[in-house]
Amino acid sequence: LLPSVREPLFAAYNRGDAPRVKAALADPGLFKIVQCAPAVRVAIAEEFGLPLGSLTPGKMAAALKTAGFDRIYDTNFAADLTIMEESSELVQRLTQGGRMPMFTSCCPAWVKYVEDTYPELIPHLSSCKSPQQMAGALFKTFGAKLDEVEPARVYSLSVMPCTCKKFECERPEMAASGYHDVDAVLTTRELAQLLKDAGIDFDKLTEAEFDKPLGTYTGAGAIFGVTGGVMEAALRTAYEWVTGQSLPELDFTTVRGGEGVRKAAVKLGDLELKVVVVAGLKHVRELLEQVKAGKADFHFIEVMTCPVGCVSGGGQPKVLIPGDKPAAYAGRKGSIYNHDAALSLRKSHDNPEIQKLYEAFLGKPLGSESHHLLHTHYTSRRQEE
């Protein structure tokens, strides 16, 4: 990575945010809302001695309740919301024109790489905020209304597998509601340490549920935690919207995999949608050079900076036994797909709480309220050599 990309990310990496989260938890004047990213629930148990890749959403929700949060909401809900907006944007660009191919925008390190290194390609990025930021924007608006709390009293914490999310939450444009979408980010490791400091015995907790409505999610939201997951979730929704037919097979196995580049073509009725999934930023340059030269023969590209997507993020538990890393990544990835397969709803547009959110508050995907709260813009950060 260029120094201009690397240094802010490393600064975020080296900053411990647990002390200010502990101070917020101890403040009775704040209404504390927390969200957890999809990849956290398949890794945090490793910090408490459970097997690599253990799936523990119920214990995580219970731990956060015990730690003193007022609402346990979920980034997975916002991942479903992201699909509503991003699939709408993709369909709009396909049918009405717009810069193609479209790039996903969930990974802040990838977004910053484009801003730094290929700013001329910024119009290709989806304008959707990441799920973390969408959730935060809802907590300070719709969530505050639900609980009849002044938005200024809402403290919005996210737990992420990712150190770059600390950088993302501080971007000045992430405050369209008048308040910062997210007040603080803890990594998976930082949350585990906070729970240990509070004397919470993770393994012995009785499982709890995420709070409704902003904690309800489908399998499509859950798979955001692995490379190819955003693409697969978007395809599940785009297929049904474009064809008007029920998707016969939900698993798009051609976009699943590990580090590197995968290409696939998916029939959406008469349209053959050509997609590319990239895991690991070092693999993306050749594709971007093709896009720059106008020679890219595809419609939609997902890029995740980490080698297997967020399950392998820099804020996840360290794998201490040499050689265990592939097993840890495989275990976490397997748990994400098992979680998806076990959920009764697996398409974002089937999430009943998402449907109610549009009816009661947002209007429609890409509508004015959605655009105001859930979309953003990007800026060239290119520095001359």
Residues annotated catalytic, as ranges: 86, 89, 106, 126, 165, 168, 173, 310
Cβ-based nearer residue to ligand SF4, 156 or 227: 227
Q: How many residues bind ligand SF4 (CB under 6 A)?
A: 11
Query: Which of 94, 198, 78 is closest to 135 using CA atoms?
Result: 78
What letter represents residue 162's amino acid? C
328 touches ligand SF4 by CB under 6 A: no
Q: Which is nearer to ligand SF4, 80 or 168 (CB)?
A: 168
Q: Which of 84, 205, 306, 373 binds ligand SF4 (CB under 6 A)?
A: 306
Contact window for ligand SF4 (CB under 6 A) among 205-213, 233-241, 246-254, 305-313: 305-313
Q: Minimum distance from CB of 230 to ligand SF4 (Å)?
A: 10
Neighbours of 355 (CB within 10 A): 12
Question: Which of the 8 DSSP states describes residue 307?
Answer: B
Largest pairwise CA distance in the chain: 58
Considering only residues 304, 354, 362, 374, which one is a binding residue for ligand SF4 as defined by CB under 6 A?
304
Q: Which SS3 state, helix, strand or coil, does residue 346 take?
A: coil
308 binds ligand SF4 (CB under 6 A): no
Report if residue 109 touches ligand SF4, rule: CB under 6 A: yes
Cis omega (within 30 of 0) on the bond before 213? Answer: yes
Helices 188-197 and 57-67 meet at what angle, rounded to 10?
Answer: 50
> Quick one: which of 38, 53, 131, 161 contacts ligand SF4 (CB under 6 A)?
161
CA end-to-end span of the chain: 14
Query: Any idea how long the chain is?
Result: 385
Report how far residue 217's alpha carbon sits from residue 77's, in angstroms, rounded to the nearest whole number: 5
How many angstroms separate the CA atoms of 327 and 45, rounded? Answer: 15
**Residue closer to ligand SF4 (CB basis): 194 or 310:** 310
* Tokens of residue 175, six digits: 């405050």
Which residue stretch of 115-123, 145-153, 161-169, 350-358 sits at the interface with ligand SF4 (rule: CB under 6 A)? 161-169
Q: How far apart are CA 213 and CA 284, in angstroms?
A: 37
Q: Is 310 in the site for ligand SF4 (CB under 6 A)?
A: yes
Among 162, 192, 277, 288, binds ligand SF4 (CB under 6 A): 162
One residue of 154, 164, 194, 291 binding ligand SF4 per CB under 6 A? 164
What one-letter code names the amino acid at 180?
A: H
Dihedral sign (CA 114, 116, 120, 125)? positive
Q: For residue 316, give both structure tokens.
A: 């996840």
According to the binding rule CB under 6 A, does residue 309 interact with ligand SF4? yes
Instruction: Tell whether residue 307 is a contact of ligand SF4 (CB under 6 A).
Output: no
Q: Phi and psi of 213, rounded to 5°?
A: -90, -15
Residue 214 vs 310, nearer CB to ligand SF4: 310
In angstroms, the CA 236 to CA 253 distance is 12
Candidate ranges 53-61, 83-91, 232-240, 309-317; the one touching ligand SF4 (CB under 6 A): 309-317
- State which amino acid sits at residue 113: Y
Select from 118-126, 266-274, 308-316, 334-342 the region that touches ligand SF4 (CB under 6 A).
308-316
Q: Which of 313, 317, 331, 365 binds ligand SF4 (CB under 6 A)?
A: 313
Q: What is the CA radius of gyration of the chain?
A: 19
Q: Is 230 near ligand SF4 (CB under 6 A)?
A: no
CB of 364 to ligand SF4, least distance (A): 27
Residue nearest to ligand SF4 (CB): 313
For ligand SF4, which is the closer residue by CB, 101 or 228?
A: 228
Write out the residues near ligand SF4 by the rule CB under 6 A. 107, 109, 161-162, 164, 304-306, 309-310, 313
